Structure 1
């Protein structure tokens, strides 16, 4: 793999945003590939040449990295074997599970490649190259004064560059990522692998031990790991799932070090962290704290209660169908609750206000800056006042389609009908026949996690939220259906009518009657379809307003970062944006509250201590207790603990998307898999702190111990070169 080295950087913001970065100064940072050469990792503890991590002119460790299903994974054999988290494979395992073959509960081990099963819905994405395209994009905006038009020019230019790259090389996917909002843009090229298969997934009481009770909590005892394999066509090209496909041969795979690490050891991580928002003003933090975080937390708490109740009442089949939705909601819910607590604990809003006040004083003290940026902070404040005035309405639009699967079905059917209606009569039948399978594929995915009783309650909740919006944010398409005498009766009546008379509530009814031919599809309508159209049109109008706000925000944030760099006289590392990054640090515990210290390793003993029969989150495999009682630790015991280490802590800078990232030792060997942060560190998205920012990984010694002693996954161990 040969990376284009244009990002070593000469254009615009890039030249001033990145500079010489000293590891003695900094362990905060999710460093882009272009900055790795500027780090002094040897002083921090790295024992291999820094170029072995990233070599733009040859093969290096970054060639072993892969983005799989929105998580990070890494190749650990020359046969396309990938290690990542259990929770990253969760949705694929759920889709493969049935009451008869409950892989989610019982786990799955393929003893041969022929036994491996398709990981539905998952693809693997490998970074091939990157190139700074900031100059080309920003040059296109030179003569544009209108902010909305400027943002449209940027968006169109991005699409043009992406399409040009893919036209030049049909084997890649191209994506332009914004590194600094409104200022720096990088073209990434990816190889996409469409055939990913499940190889080894531990039992749920190992891969999810502690469940939501322990989520974002330390100490942790979760075996959050899984193995998958990437497959390609015999000629090496990306291909859909097929028995003829062969394992992908990566250019690099990671070596496993089964001796692990100890407290104080240097570590580093490569991965695809999602989004962070550290270069934002006080108004942004206020919006998060007052609107987005509490609204979403309360909503997801209600939704999960309804889904858990339905699973309990209806049995395992319903539990399985709803499990992925519940898990995703629960993860976000606890994360957001942690952020709310963290924001309050460190009073980040007040810190940001003080920083912004000092920035205003700096601007006003410099004639040139005042002429250029004198109104910057006032403009930012005015814009956020506008955003906040519509916040609850905007959040409702964000969540409505996520909340109701039935509404998503209606949206897909309405779109299909609209496409048919726009065709001439002689072309409709051909279009219908060729596109119906595509529509049904999308609908099948929605119905896979659909439960009518859950949908009824969630839909009612969203209608109630719409009715209770502030006066200036109410929806005409809802208000027009209310009598004004009794809100609750109106809501119940509206919801009941929508569900009673629509054929969409049953997949069989929809497929058997509505979608039986082109005429029945075109002729069918009901109140749910009408309501979905009204919601969609109202959302379109609202989006136009928000797009104008986004355009102005794009320009204001670009100016904010520029002047703040000058004020602080420091180099900023761009916020994470799902592109490949490096972070480094050390194995270490922390003190979350006064007079306490959290040690950096947990053990199998802790699993037994937590084990409780009355709480399903803490029920463990009986074989684990038998093995521990017999001190059957094999070659995976940590002498200092006289036990097998299960999870460990480190002060590396991580966020969402780092799930599954390989944790590497000073020689670049795999010693664990990242899966979480501590509760105090959920605030990492907004601020990193050396005292409380700790992330959590599963120790490779526990992964190998479970594979060998509990699940007898011998084929995997042989492939990994482990005795």
Structure 2
């Protein structure tokens, strides 16, 4: 293979056939691991050490941490992941007086560990191919809306049955190939997660957005958490009596790290990729979605930074939102740049033209799929006609916190109104109010009235300008004839609603079922009108398109498999995978070569620029000037390596994934991709697809020499070995 990459999807069931040809990129099931070429590529352990159904193996050390990946590194539930994966929990634990986000957090005893609010741990414990059951349920169903409804109902029924058989688990059916294959995944969920050690922000976020998605990097993007369970070993909410979780497997850390061209692999939970879509999908991304979302996020960041400029409490409150928006903005701009640089749209058009020609010249395919390519194009032309409306609707609720609050209140009011008696209403209220308040707490945690007003005003002004197929009836019905009136209307909705007052909502509106039903205001009325338009006019059409796309994409992949004479591996979808490759630099531009290691020297050089994003703890310079590297230096560098570069195939969700050497030992933690590799979601290429991780030697050096967290060296079992 020109690229030694394998991404592995876990299946229990046998019956899904894959060809013997291993692609340069993609995801493969562990059932086919023996033909993937891992050992020829450099793996030194047995394949069963990675995955061994029914037995303990490396996959048992992997966890999903929120939307990221983590791994157990001690027998007492200690987890290593990224700093940015714990960021929101650190923010929620911080106050202006006790600012863990800025200064870091170190708990040298279990009693000092604090709750990581909002974080849960999921451990994959089982998987089963249920494609036959899902596809059997829709056999002979031509109506696209009915097709999607049946798929969703069948998926939920299968997951519910799995939970009924074992109430200790959670379960969900994941679509592996759209309209083609489905897998039931079973998970153990751990609710009590605590912060153990998080470096200061000027280590964990060194370089800020200036360096985000860039190489060279010098970011200590790591943190340590601990999973806790009830004394009987069952999952339980945060409680003092809970005890550290005992994992079936934890990874061994190798403090010697890696060298250039060393074989490495990653296990993790990559989010979403879209590599098996037609040219029109890429056109939608390039013409519509990527520019719109990146510009909207840029505007939202400006609003939030302005609100926090003069108030530290507001700055902390909005920190996670700003970081999330900035990450999306730069990611989308990188994707847009990558699409244009490699002209992927034209490549896809040529591939699809060749596929259409293949169908026309293959009688048995022409008979069954003769209209496939024209049907795909016709559907996407419909999607293009109201793309502005679709994108706006996808962002309006997530962009405006109070609109989320209004939507949830209206939904709860509707459920209460459906009850026939006051007693039934109060019972429904009592059974849901705790979870409901918890959900609103998470919204209000990052709510700021000035930010909401600014963003909401822009969103409504954008929608007011929509014409033709993009016009929203809810906006048109306002009767506004001039742009300034839109801003006035939006401002009045925000300033006049009492939903801005969390205390009022919690103590007055949510006091009882009757109190919820009695409360109303213009913001609730506006949201109700928008929701009604979505439900009655927009959603049915979206469901129809989703159903058509489900069928067409299943056929599209099937025909491409015939055309290329090989099966494809599924796009990433947040299920457990493996990718492998080498510690390797690259040439992103003419006459340049980027080496695969950065050092503390480079960190200090950036710090000398005067840019505040390159501030760092003074103790780093003191230790470095004293050459106090301990056992963590890399001999050929004469320095401690900070970050590493490699050609593995990663994407969103791989944040926090353990980087392992040929013996399955942890040597780093994945956290990012190079800017040109943001396009990995759509295509992978050996020349530019590079991922970035923090070298374990830097993690250990900072913990030992800078942050006073050397107690962790004992827990992970390396202190004695590295100092003897």
State TM-score, norm by structure 2. Answer: 0.96
Q: Rate the CA distance shift 1:290–1:517 in 2: closer, same or farther, 3 A.
A: same
Judge conservation of contact 1:30–1:653 (CA < 8 Å) in 2.
no
CA deviation vs aligned residue, 1:393-439 (integer Å, no higher than 9, x gap): 01111100111111111112222222332231234345445544333
| 1:73 alignment counterpart | 70
Q: Tell me, what secondary structure is at the counterpart of 2:631?
A: coil
Q: Rate the CA distance shift 1:5–1:265 in 2: closer, same or farther, 3 A.
A: closer
Judge conservation of contact 1:19–1:38 (CA < 8 Å) in 2.
no
Q: Rate the CA distance shift 1:372–1:292 in 2: closer, same or farther, 3 A.
A: same
Judge conservation of contact 1:481–1:494 (CA < 8 Å) in 2.
no
| 1:152 alignment counterpart | 149
Match runs of 1:128-143 below 5 Å: 128-143=125-140
Q: Tell me, what secondary structure is at the counterpart of 1:635?
A: helix
| 1:508 alignment counterpart | 503
1:526 CA drift (Å): 1.0
Aligned mates of 1:407, 1:200 — CA distance in 2? 36
2:255 aligned with 1:258, yes or no? yes
2:382 aligned with 1:373, yes or no? no
Match runs of 1:614-633 below 5 Å: 614-633=610-629
1:8 CA drift (Å): 6.0
Gapped runs of 5+ residues in structure 1?
Answer: none
Q: Tell me, what secondary structure is at the counterpart of 2:630?
A: coil
Match runs of 1:153-232 below 5 Å: 153-232=150-229
Judge conservation of contact 1:274–1:657 (CA < 8 Å) in 2.
yes
Q: Tell me, what secondary structure is at the counterpart of 2:589?
A: coil
| 2:20 alignment counterpart | 20
Q: Tell me, what secondary structure is at the counterpart of 1:691?
A: coil
Q: Pick from 640, 658, 662: which aligns with 2:658?
A: 662
1:517 CA drift (Å): 4.5
Aligned mates of 1:350, 1:5 — CA distance in 2? 34
Aligned mates of 1:483, 1:353 — CA distance in 2? 43
| 2:722 alignment counterpart | none
Q: Rate the CA distance shift 1:428–1:158 in 2: closer, same or farther, 3 A.
A: closer
| 2:584 alignment counterpart | 588
CA deviation vs aligned residue, 1:52-94 (integer Å, no higher than 9, x gap): 1111131111110000111000000000100000000001111
Judge conservation of contact 1:210–1:222 (CA < 8 Å) in 2.
yes
1:7 CA drift (Å): 4.5
Judge conservation of contact 2:230–2:241 (CA < 8 Å) in 1.
yes
Q: Pick from 101, 117, 132: which aligns with 1:120?
A: 117
Aligned mates of 1:622, 1:426 — CA distance in 2? 64
Q: Tell me, what secondary structure is at the counterpart of 1:197?
A: strand
Judge conservation of contact 1:21–1:40 (CA < 8 Å) in 2.
no
Judge conservation of contact 1:32–1:582 (CA < 8 Å) in 2.
no
Match runs of 1:601-616 below 5 Å: 601-612=597-608, 614-616=610-612
Q: Rate the CA distance shift 1:612–1:546 in 2: closer, same or farther, 3 A.
A: farther
Q: Pick from 68, 81, 84: which aligns with 1:84?
A: 81
| 1:308 alignment counterpart | 305
CA deviation vs aligned residue, 1:616-658 (integer Å, no higher than 9, x gap): 3111111101111111100000001000000010000000000
State TM-score, norm by structure 1. Answer: 0.96
Aligned mates of 1:367, 1:554 — CA distance in 2? 24
Q: What is the count of residue pairs matched by the alignment?
A: 710
Q: Pick from 59, 64, 68: which aligns with 2:61?
A: 64
Q: Tell me, what secondary structure is at the counterpart of 1:658?
A: coil
1:27 CA drift (Å): 4.6
Aligned mates of 1:379, 1:5 — CA distance in 2? 33
Aligned mates of 1:66, 1:432 — CA distance in 2? 34
Q: Rate the CA distance shift 1:140–1:624 in 2: closer, same or farther, 3 A.
A: same
Q: Rate the CA distance shift 1:280–1:716 in 2: closer, same or farther, 3 A.
A: same
| 1:421 alignment counterpart | 417
CA deviation vs aligned residue, 1:431-454 (integer Å, no higher than 9, x gap): 445544333222222111111111
Q: Rate the CA distance shift 1:465–1:698 in 2: closer, same or farther, 3 A.
A: same
Q: Pick from 328, 333, 340: which aligns with 1:332?
A: 328
| 2:296 alignment counterpart | 299
CA deviation vs aligned residue, 1:289-333 (integer Å, no higher than 9, x gap): 0111111001000000110111103x1100111011111111111
Q: Tell me, what secondary structure is at the counterpart of 1:145?
A: coil
| 2:699 alignment counterpart | 703
Q: Rate the CA distance shift 1:550–1:428 in 2: closer, same or farther, 3 A.
A: closer
Judge conservation of contact 2:298–2:329 (CA < 8 Å) in 1.
yes
Aligned mates of 1:48, 1:151 — CA distance in 2? 44
Aligned mates of 1:516, 1:9 — CA distance in 2? 53
Judge conservation of contact 2:457–2:491 (CA < 8 Å) in 1.
no
CA deviation vs aligned residue, 1:210-231 (integer Å, no higher than 9, x gap): 0100000000000000000111
| 1:636 alignment counterpart | 632
Aligned mates of 2:673, 2:271 — CA distance in 1? 14
1:571 CA drift (Å): 2.8
Judge conservation of contact 2:144–2:545 (CA < 8 Å) in 1.
no
Judge conservation of contact 1:74–1:84 (CA < 8 Å) in 2.
yes
Q: Rate the CA distance shift 1:405–1:6 in 2: closer, same or farther, 3 A.
A: closer
Structure 1 vs Structure 2 CA RMSD: 1.6
Aligned mates of 1:5, 1:71 — CA distance in 2? 18
| 2:493 alignment counterpart | 498
Aligned mates of 1:516, 1:131 — CA distance in 2? 44
Judge conservation of contact 1:27–1:583 (CA < 8 Å) in 2.
no
